[in-house]
Every structure is written in C-alpha cells, then in structure tokens.
Amino acid sequence: MEKGCTVLSREYERETASPDLVFMDGEIAQVYYPWRRFLSRMLDLGIYRALWAVLLMFVFNVNLVHRGSLGRLD
C-alpha cells in the first residue's frame, strides 16, 4: 500500500512541478538556475520593504528620513 502512495505522490510532483525541476527515477529532483529563485526572493523582499516604508510614512506618520539604520524611534 505504501509503495502505491509513493508512486502517486511522485506522479503528482511531476505534474505540478515547475519547469526548472528535472526528475530522475529514484533520485531527488535537481533544480537548475537557482539564481532565478534567489533573484525572485530578493525582488519580493524589495517590494515588501517599499510597501512597508509607504505604510509607515503615510499611515503611521513616521519620518523615515530621521530614523537610523537600526530603526530607532525617537
């Protein structure tokens, strides 16, 4: 019974996997171009930081010009 579940889960992974994954029988999927994932995470982080700054400036009226790099609130 467990072997059948493993086969079904591998088939599901293959169907739903991103095109960057390459499956080999009995091996872990290899990810090509890991820098794409890294750059997308960095882009996400930059977008979230910009949205956070806008929220702080316009909703909470925090002056970001006078804040230090450690984020002290005077």
> Is pTM, for the whole model, over 0.85?
no
Comparing C-alpha atoms, which of 46, 20, 23 is closest to residue 34?
20
Q: What does the pLDDT look like over 10-67, one tens digit per residue?
A: 676 666 666 655 666 666 667 788 899 999 999 999 999 999 999 999 999 988 888 7
Each residue of 2-16: pLDDT tens digit? 555 666 666 766 666
Helix (H) / strand (E) element for 61: namely none
Give the chain's radius of gyration (CA, Å): 22
Q: What is the pLDDT of residue 63?
A: 87
